Amino acid sequence: MNLIVVGASYRTTPIATLERLAVAPTDTGEVLRRLLAQPYVDAAVVLSTCNRVEVYAAVSGFHGGLADICAVLGERSASQPNDLAEHLYVHYGQAAVEHTFRVAAGLDSMVVGEAQILGQLRDAYHAANEADATGRLLHELMQQALRVGKRAHSETDIDRAGQSVVSAALRVGAESLPGGLIGRAVLVLGAGAMGALAVATLARLGVESIQVVNRRDDRAVRLAGTYGATAVPYAQLTTALAQVDLVISATASAEPVLTRDAVAQVLAGRPTDRTDPLVLLDLAVPRDVEPAAGTLPGVSVIDIDALASVLTDAPAAVDMAAVAQIVAAEVESFLSWMRGSDVAPTVAALRGRADEVVGAELRRLAGRRPDLTDEQRAEVAHTVHRVVQRLLHSPTVRVRQLAAEPGGDQYAALLRQLFDLEEPQTSTASDVPDLHGAPDPSQGPARSEADR
């Protein structure tokens, strides 16, 4: 088995495509089931956030695994795999490990260093665990990735950059309001993780008028009570919207919550003394705000696409090299573990072959020397097994050590050749030409016999 990451993010994919790919928490189990039903996918984790959808998988072949994952994503987004391919990136083997660790460290986030991605990755891993979808290789990758993310935040200054998508969006949204957020009334639509972060961020910034609206009023009441905000019943959403200057929307709705007509109704109900624009920060994928709402006079819609165009660089104050060094060291450590793990089937096969040979010789001895007592037979068997195990101990320990080094797979291959052992059912780095790049899915989604 080897690792593959197939994904789409704000860097490569229009938000309309991300919307179709997005996986709600309630749908994660079904998507994992579909992935595991594919012939080349052995394990999978699905990460779906406001700015990325990624499948981390253990696959038995590059082209077959890629085709299987693209087929599931294409089915989910109602897209043909070839049409979807132009928006996807693919990382395999070492590149998959490196990408996973960069994501966990916050290096690949829209807001470099944001810590929220670590919790989102942990949730995705837990969801896969609950669905019994991780397997050993992916389990180890996720555990190590979470450790890398913690190291990055505790051992470097990446937290200086790491605000959040919410705080970055507020910074952009404030630029559309004369005087910024001072004295403004803000409404948060949605009481999930992103909504909670929005309310906490607003409270930390000193915004005094914060209202919270959620389809489940009880959740809005709990969240508002935690930060001294005001909970508004969902039935009063339109009235509440007419009284605020800025809206942060982050629900899990599959359809727009604020359509153009709904926003037009809000504008009609605004007090005449509110002449500043109504700023709608849409942090949801799929989008909560219908794009056409942005064409209304006096309305400014800022969605993930808009944020991506202005949040491109890490702050100069952050020592990105220190974070990159942690990622590089952890990647090499994980690859060493993988190489050592890959040789284990060969070592087990060698010991199994030795047991077969010993067993055959003991049976032959029993046929030639029927006069031996049971005690004598047991003593001979014990002695022969002991000799074989002592002979195998040093070379098997040494091959494990050598296999953990770069290029170590050659030692396992040599061992198999010397003792005529069967090739283990694994996939190696040689299955794809360039592990450090991002192979184009359109170049090889079809299954090949070499992958079987």
Catalytic center residues: 50
Q: Which among 211, 285, 203, 300 is positioned nearest to 252, based on CA atoms?
A: 285
Q: Angle CA(144)–CA(147)–CA(152) in degrees, nearest 5?
A: 125
Q: Which among 272, 268, 428, 229 is positioned nearest to 346, based on CA atoms?
A: 428
Task: Please give the full DSSP string across 270-327, using - where no structure is assigned.
Answer: S-TT--S-EEEEE--SS-SB-GGGGGSTTEEEE-HHHHHHH--S--TTS-HHHHHHHH
Token digits of residue 255:
């359809």
Question: Could you tell me if 409 and 403 are in contact, meaning their C-beta atoms sit under 8 angstroms apart?
Answer: yes
Phi-psi region of 403 (alpha: psi -120 to 50; beta: other; left: phi over 0): alpha
What angle, 0 to 180 degrees and rounded to 10, lies between the N-to-C axes of helices 116-130 and 94-105? 120
Altogether, the residues listed in the chain come to a count of 452
Alpha carbons 56 and 6: distance in angstroms, whole number = 7
Rounded alpha-carbon distances, angstroms, from residue 395 to 374, 386, 407: 33, 15, 18
What angle, 0 to 180 degrees and rounded to 10, lies between the N-to-C axes of helices 193-204 and 116-130? 160
Question: Could you tell me if 68 and 446 are in contact, meaning their C-beta atoms sit under 8 angstroms apart?
Answer: no
Rounded alpha-carbon distances, angstroms, from residue 135 to 118, 140, 399: 21, 9, 25
Question: In a 10 Å sphere around its CB, with 0-12 CB exposed, 13-18 middle and 19+ buried, how is residue 352 labelled?
Answer: exposed
